Amino acid sequence: MAYGMTNILVYGSIFNGTRKFIKEMGDDKVIPFNGFFNFVSGILTCMMCCSTWVGFFLGFFVYSPVHEMLAVSSWGSWFFDGLLASGAVWAINAIVEWYEENRR
C-alpha cells in the first residue's frame, strides 16, 4: 500500500498539476510560507522522503504493523512505521529501477 501511494504521489500524472503548483509556490519569494511549499515540493519528488510521510500517515490512520508485531507504544510506532515504509518502498523501487535499466 505504501509503495502504491508513494508511486502515485511522486510519479502519477494525476498529481502533475498539484506538484507544479506547489513547486511554483515554493519558488515564489513573495508568498509567505514559501519555505513550507519548498519542503513539500522536495518531498513530492523523492521516493524515499515521500514514503516516510506516507508511512506516518498509514501507521496513524490505517494500520500500524510495528505496534501490532513489536508491541511498541502507539506514539513510538508511528515513527517506526514511517521508517519501515521508507525502507520497504526504497527496496521495491530499487528493484523496479534495476529491471527498467536492464531492460533497455
Task: List the domain range (segments joined by +) for residue 62.
Answer: 2-102
pTM recorded for the entire structure: 0.87
Q: Exposed/middle/buried for 39, CB within 10 Å: 0-12, 13-18, 19+?
A: middle
Could you report how far apart the first and last alpha carbons of the chain are, in Å?
28
What the block records as the C-alpha cell of 43 is 518531498
Count of beta carbons in the 10 Å neighbourhood of residue 68? 10
- Tracing cell 521495491 back to the chain, one arrives at 92
Number of domains in the chain: 1
- Residues 49-90 have pLDDT tens digits of 999 999 999 999 999 999 889 888 888 899 999 999 999 999
Count of beta carbons in the 10 Å neighbourhood of residue 21? 13
What the block records as the C-alpha cell of 9 is 504521489
